[in-house]
C-alpha cells in the first residue's frame, strides 16, 4: 500500500544553509592550489552540481588536467568532510515542519547532488537524519539530478506513488529534475542559483519553512 504523501528535498540551500562551510572548503582549495578565492555571495553561481563543478565555475578557463582536477576535488572533500557542520544551519522553520510532517505520516527523503556519505554525515551531525526515510546522493545511483530517475527511484524504493509526490528545491537543477519526473515543484527563495524565481518554473514559492504545513495540507 502506498503512503499518503512523499516529499523529496534537495539539501544544500534548500533545507540547510551550507554556504559558509562550502565556501570555506572552496577557498581553502583555491588558496592551496594558487587560485583566486571567492566571496560568500558567489555561492549562488558556484554550488549545485558537486565539488569539482563548484571549483570549475571559479576558473576563467576550463581546467582539463585530470590529475589537477582529481587532487583539487580530493582536497575539497577532505577539508569539507572535517568541517561540514561548523557553520551550517537548518533553514528557518524546518525542524518544526519536519516534526509536523512526521505526525501526519508524510514520508520524506533527500535527493541531493552531494556525495551520499557527506549528506548523511551532515544530517546526522545536525540531528536531522531521523526525519528522513532515505538519502540519495550524487553517487547513490549511476545518475543524479536533473535525471528524473534520481527522484523516481527513491519514490519506488520507498513504496510511494509519483502522483502523491512533491519535490522541494532551490535551483534550476531541482526544477528540471521535477519536470523530468513530472512532479510538482516548490521553490525556496535565496537558494544556490544565479537565476531569479521568475526564471524557474514552480507551483509554490517559499522563503523558508515557516507555515509550510499550510501549503502541504493542500496535497494531503
Positions annotated as catalytic residues are: 10
Supply φ then ψ for residue 98, to 5 degrees: -60, -40
Q: Between helices 172-181 and 149-158, what is the axis angle to 10°?
A: 60
Rounded-to-integer distance, Cα 63 and Cα 55, Å? 10
Q: How many residues does the chain have?
A: 220
The cell numbers describing 207, all together, are 522563503
Rounded-to-integer distance, Cα 135 and Cα 154, Å? 8
Rounded-to-integer distance, Cα 119 and Cα 20, Å? 16
Closest listed residue to residue 139, CA positions, set 34, 51, 36, 209: 51
Amino acid at each position: 500500500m502506498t503512503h499518503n504523501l512523499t516529499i523529496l528535498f534537495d539539501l544544500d540551500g534548500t533545507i540547510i544553509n551550507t554556504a559558509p562551510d562550502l565556501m570555506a572548503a572552496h577557498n581553502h582549495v583555491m588558496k592551496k592550489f594558487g587560485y583566486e578565492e571567492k566571496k560568500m555571495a558567489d555561492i549562488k553561481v558556484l554550488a549545485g552540481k558537486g565539488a569539482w563543478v563548484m571549483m570549475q565555475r571559479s576558473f576563467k578557463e576550463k581546467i582539463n588536467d585530470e590529475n589537477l582536477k582529481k587532487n583539487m576535488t580530493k582536497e575539497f572533500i577532505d577539508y569539507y568532510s572535517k568541517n561540514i557542520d561548523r557553520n551550517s544551519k537548518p533553514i528557518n522553520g524546518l525542524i518544526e515542519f519536519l516534526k509536523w510532517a512526521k505526525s501526519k505520516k508524510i514520508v520524506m527523503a533527500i535527493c541531493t547532488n552531494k556525495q551520499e556519505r557527506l549528506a548523511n554525515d551532515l544530517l546526522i551531525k545536525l540531528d536531522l537524519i531521523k526525519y528522513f526515510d532515505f538519502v540519495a546522493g550524487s553517487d547513490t545511483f549511476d545518475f543524479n539530478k536533473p535525471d528524473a530517475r534520481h527522484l523516481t527511484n527513491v519514490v519506488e524504493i520507498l513504496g510511494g506513488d509519483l502522483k502523491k509526490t512533491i519535490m522541494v528545491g532551490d535551483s534550476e537543477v531541482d526544477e528540471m529534475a521535477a519536470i523530468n519526473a513530472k512532479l510538482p515543484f516548490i521553490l525556496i527563495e535565496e537558494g544556490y542559483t544565479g537565476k531569479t524565481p521568475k526564471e524557474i518554473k514552480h507551483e509554490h514559492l517559499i522563503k523558508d519553512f515557516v507555515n509550510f504545513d499550510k501549503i502541504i495540507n493542500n496535497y494531503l
